[in-house]
Amino acid sequence: MGSTDAVAAVQVANLPSEMFSIIKTSGTIGPRLGCLRLAGRQVLETPHFLAITSRGVVPHITQDSFAGATGISGVPPDGSSPLRRFIALPEPTLLVLGARRTPPVFAPSANPNTNTSVSICTSVGFRPMKAADYAEGVERLQPDIVVGLGDIPYGRALGAKRIEKATDRNIEWLQSHVKARNDAKAPKGSRSKLFASLPPVSCANQQYYIDTLTQDVAKDVDGLAVYDMVSLEDLPEQLRHLPKLAFTEPSTPHEILRQISLGIDVLTIPFLTAATDAGIALDFTFPANSSEQEAQPKILGVDMWLEDHATSLQPLVDGCKCYACTNHHRAYVQHLLNAKEMLAWVLLQIHNHHTLDLFFAGIRQTLRNGSFEDNVERFAKVYETLLPEKTGQGPRVRGYQYKSEGPGEPKKNAAPFQTFDDKKEKLAESTPPSAEAGAAELEELGFAEKQT
């Protein structure tokens, strides 16, 4: 972006194409290869994905591992995360700030959104957050992209009345936010890009809001945040050039491909951390590996809990170049999962993000050479439709999964084992022998011999 006010006026007209340019597209509604350029950040080619953070960290991964061992290009932190420096996010990484978690939390009906506020889940329960406070706060925090606050109902069927209400609120909130930004007169180049939230209904169903977007604030909105693919079906021509950021919770790589083929540019992928927590190392490539002709569809991930891995010195996924696969093997990850050591999830998270990174690189490559559609078809044939079922236990419930449902809710984590005498720190640190270890098993382990 330009850095002087003198050229700012000229740039306004070209703003979307400058920040976001479409390199190649195959039709009005269709997949597209694009490029997102933000001051100071690494250029992000799209389609791409954002890693999801909680409290400013990608779950399980400390910031140094993040920079060193993953290829993560952008992250939308949860609503509670402030400055880039505060969360120690590497400089080249794109930072997106929004009010809603991905995946979202279902708000009890006792905590509805109002005309001036949304209900957000905080560490002390549901609290209202004023739209005006949000607009002011995010502008101060200066992420690269701000997702405008939307009244985005979640988890309930939407009646015409509720949609009308949401439409009115979204118009009001967006216009106020835009006005506040324009009044602030911050140099355009240094300012966050504003993405407007599209409620999860068709455009026809929220016509007044769409009119606002195409007319009143057309030059003030830099992109769209999409919560349901239905909004793209009748997206008017005037909004198609905008970069589209999806908070649509795709549950499989097939679904990612489908959303990209409908014109999504950047996605958030909750199944990534879900797979990590389930002990699953994702294992798929795009295009699907062509050398193999298999009778059975290939699995999308390897369940690291399986006993078979106990002595396997293979990487999590053969040929993978990630930190976890080049330094460690399945036996270690299986051991760590079994022993409930946090490092298990650290290594899986690194691997899974790497897998997705390559998956998106493959998507962009095929868009570039025109083989995307063919390869989507092939991918569907080669791979199973669903991720493997989770067999083992996940980590203890932490911030990123924690959803307060108010008083009286059941305990999220069973109380840890109580030692007989926990005076000594060392003992408290130890895990007792697992309940499943029988005498015969202990003997087989070579741990001790059974007495007769």
Partner 1 sequence: MFMPVATQASLKGLTPKQLEDTSCRLCLNNTYHLGLKPGQKTLDAIGGAHRLQSWPHNILTDSGGFQMVSLLKLSRVTEDGVRFLSPHDGSPMLLTPEHSISLQNSIGSDIIMQLDDVIATTSPDHERIKEAMYRSVRWLDRCIAAHEKPESQNLFCIIQGGLDLELRKECCAEMVARDTHGIAIGGLSGGEAKDAFCKVVGTCTQLLPERKPRYVMGVGYPEDILVCVALGADMFDCVWPTRTARFGNAVTVDGVFNLRHANYAYDFRPVEEGCKCTCCRPQEEGGLGITRAYIHHVAAKETAGAHLLSMHNVHYLLELMRKAREAIVEERYPAFLKEYFLKLYAGDKEKYPQWAVDALKGVGIDLLSV
**Out of 100, 351, 353, 364, which residue is the one contacting Zn ion (CB under 5 A)?**
351
302 near Zn ion, judged by CB under 5 A: no
**Out of 54, 259, 261, 268, which residue is the one contacting partner 1 (CB under 8 A)?**
54
308 near partner 1, judged by CB under 8 A: no
**Out of 171, 320, 336, 363, which residue is the one contacting Zn ion (CB under 5 A)?**
320
The entry of partner 1, Zn ion, none near residue 329 (CB within 5 to 8 angstroms by kind) is partner 1
d(CA 34, CA 46): 5
Strands 280-282 and 223-226: what pairing?
unpaired
Site string for partner 1, 109-128 (x = CB under 8 A): --------------x-----
How many CB atoms within 10 Å of residue 21?
15
Q: How far is the CB of 355 from Zn ion (least distance, A)?
A: 7
Question: Is residue 254 within 8 Å of residue 385, measured between CB atoms?
Answer: yes
The entry of Zn ion, partner 1, none near residue 334 (CB within 5 to 8 angstroms by kind) is partner 1
Question: Is residue 55 within 8 Å of residue 344, measured between CB atoms?
Answer: no
> Rg for the chain (alpha carbons), in Å?
24
Check whether 325 is labelled as a binding-site residue. Answer: yes
SS3 call for 56: coil
Tokens linked to 419: 């030692």
Burial 407-426 (b: 16+ CB within 10 A, else e): eeeeeeeeeeeeeeeeeeee
347 near partner 1, judged by CB under 8 A: yes
Size of the site for partner 1 (CB under 8 A): 75
397 near partner 1, judged by CB under 8 A: no
d(CA 166, CA 169): 5
Single out the segment in contact with partner 1 by CB under 8 A; choices: 10-18, 50-58, 129-137, 189-197.
50-58
Tokens linked to 44: 């992000």
Question: Is residue 60 within 8 Å of residue 276, measured between CB atoms?
Answer: yes
d(CA 51, CA 356): 10
The entry of partner 1, Zn ion, none near residue 439 (CB within 5 to 8 angstroms by kind) is partner 1
The entry of Zn ion, partner 1, none near residue 325 (CB within 5 to 8 angstroms by kind) is Zn ion
85 near partner 1, judged by CB under 8 A: yes
Single out the segment in contact with partner 1 by CB under 8 A; choices: 101-109, 212-220, 291-299, 417-425.
417-425
Residues that constitute the known binding site for Zn(2+):
320, 322, 325, 351
Residues that constitute the known binding site:
320, 322, 325, 351
